[in-house]
Amino acid sequence: MTSHSTTPARQGVGEPAALVLEDGRIHRGQAFGATGTTLGEAVFTTGMSGYQETLTDPSYCRQIVVTTAPQIGNTGWNDEDGESLLDGEVGGGRIWVAGLVIRDLSRRASNQRSTRTLEEEMVTQGIVGIAGIDTRAVVRHIRERGAMKAGIFSGADLSDDETMLAAVRAQESMAGASLSDEVTTSEPYVVEPEGETRFSVAALDLGIKSNTPRMLAARGVRVHVIPAGSTLQDVLDLDVDGVFLSNGPGDPATADAAVHLTKEVLGQGIPFFGICFGNQILGRALGLDTYKMRFGHRGTNIPVIEKATGSVAITSQNHGFALRAPENDTWETPWGTATVTHVCANDGTVEGVALTDGSAFSVQYHPEAAAGPRDAADLFDRFVSLLASSDTGSADSRKGSN
C-alpha cells in the first residue's frame, strides 16, 4: 500500500476531488491540502478533537483517515502537539496519514498556540485531502463493509472512474503489510528523565508517539529509544532495567523479529511493558494468534474493562488488528502462566495480556493518550513499580551471560 502525493500546492476552494473505495463506491468533494493522488486503507476515527495528534501518529501510516467530527481545522496547527519527529525535531510533527477525509474545513484557525492552518501544513508536507463529503455515509459504509483499500484523487490526477478504481485495487493490502521499518527511528536516541534518574528502559520504536517517552521521563525514567531492528545484545549493552514495546502500524503477523526479541527479553527475566502493537507482539510471543478486525478501534472514547477489578477506563486507541482470544482466560507459556487482563466493553476484543507473575504486561490501547483521556496513565506507574520491585542489580549479570 503506497501513498503518492503530487503537487504540494493549493488549487483553490471548490477544486473537485474524489474519494474512491475498493468496492466501487465513489464520493465527490473538494480538494484541500496538497493535490494529486494518495492511496491507502480507508479507516475512521471517532475522536472529536486532537486531529493534529491523530495525523502525526505513526500508527496511521498508509491509512486514509475519515473523521467523524463534522468540522476539522478549528484550532489550526502548532509546534507543540506533534506525536512524531519531523527533520529530527518534534515540532508540529511529521504527518503519517496517507490522506484525510472530512466534511467541513474550518474557515479560520482560532487558538492561542496556533502558528498556521491545518491546510497550510498539509500543503507543506504534501498530504492530499478531500472535504465536502458526507462523512457519516462513508463511516457507516466502512462499519458495514469493513476497512478497505481507497484513494483520493484531485487536480490533474482526477480521471475517469475505472482508471481511479483500478489504481485503488492494485495497491498492497494492509493485511500482510510490514511497516515498522518504515516508521522507526534510524538511530537510537535518549529522552532524559525529569529530575533524578530512578530507572532506565529500552523502548523499541515500532512507531512510538512522542508523548510516551515523556510520560516515562516524568516518572524519573531515562528512555533509550532504539530502532525496530534492534537485537537482545543491543538491549543488554544499554544495561537497562526494563524493556518497553511501542505502538505502530502494520500487520503484527509480519513482526517476527520483534516477537523473537520479546521472547528473548522474557527469557532474561527483564521487566516488560507493551502498548498497542506491543500488546500484539507480547501476545504472539506468549502463543496467541492475531487477526484483522472488521474496521478496528480508532478514537478517544473506547471503554475497556480490567478483569481483575471490574473497573472501566475510557481509552485512546488506534488499531486494525487484535489478539485472538484464547479458549481460556489463562494458559501456560515457557515463562509461566499467562492471562487476559483487559477486554473491550463494546465487543469483547482482547485489550491486555500479562504473565501472572507480574514480570510482563501489555495493553491494546494508548495510556499516553495525546490526544484522549488520561484514565490509563497509571499504567506507567505500574511499570515503574515493576521496575522498582525487580532485581535491577541483575542487569550486569544478564549482560555478561551473552
318 annotated binding-site participant: yes
The alpha carbon of 350 is separated from its chain's Cα centroid by a whole number of angstroms, namely 17
Q: Are 147 and 174 in contact (CB under 8 A)?
A: yes
Least Cα distance to 235 among 260, 207, 198 occurs for 260
Cell numbers given for 213: 517517552
Instruction: Please tell me which residue in 224, 297, 319, 366 is annotated as part of the active site.
Output: 366
Backbone angles phi, psi at 368, to 5 degrees: -80, -10
State yes or no: 11 annotated in a binding site.
no
Task: Please pick, among 22, 27, 264, 276, the residue that the annotation labels catalytic.
Answer: 276
248 labelled binding-site residue: yes
Coil, strand or helix at 396:
helix
* Ligand-binding site membership of 247 (annotated): no
Burial class of residue 79 (count of CB atoms within 10 Å of its CB; 0-12, 13-18, 19+)? middle
Q: Does 199 show up as a binding residue in the annotation? A: no
Q: 273 labelled as ligand-binding?
A: no
d(CA 365, CA 377): 11
Catalytic residue at 344?
A: no
Instruction: Provide the phi-psi class of 378: left if phi over 0, else alpha when psi is between -120 and 50, else beta.
Output: alpha
Element (H, E) at 202: strand 199-204
Decide if 20 contacts 26 (C-beta within 8 A): yes
Q: Which residues have CB under 8 Å from 255's CB, separation 6+?
A: 178, 180, 206, 277, 280, 281, 284
List phi, psi (to 5°) of 168.
Answer: -65, -50
The three-state secondary structure class of 361 is strand
Q: Which three cell numbers, joined as nine digits, stand for 259?
A: 516477537
> Is 368 assigned a catalytic role?
yes
- Grid cell, residue 205, equals 520504536
Which residues are part of a known binding site? 59, 248, 250, 277, 280, 318, 320-321
Which residues are part of a known binding site for L-glutamine? 59, 248, 250, 277, 280, 318, 320-321
Query: Which residues are catalytically annotated?
Result: 276, 366, 368
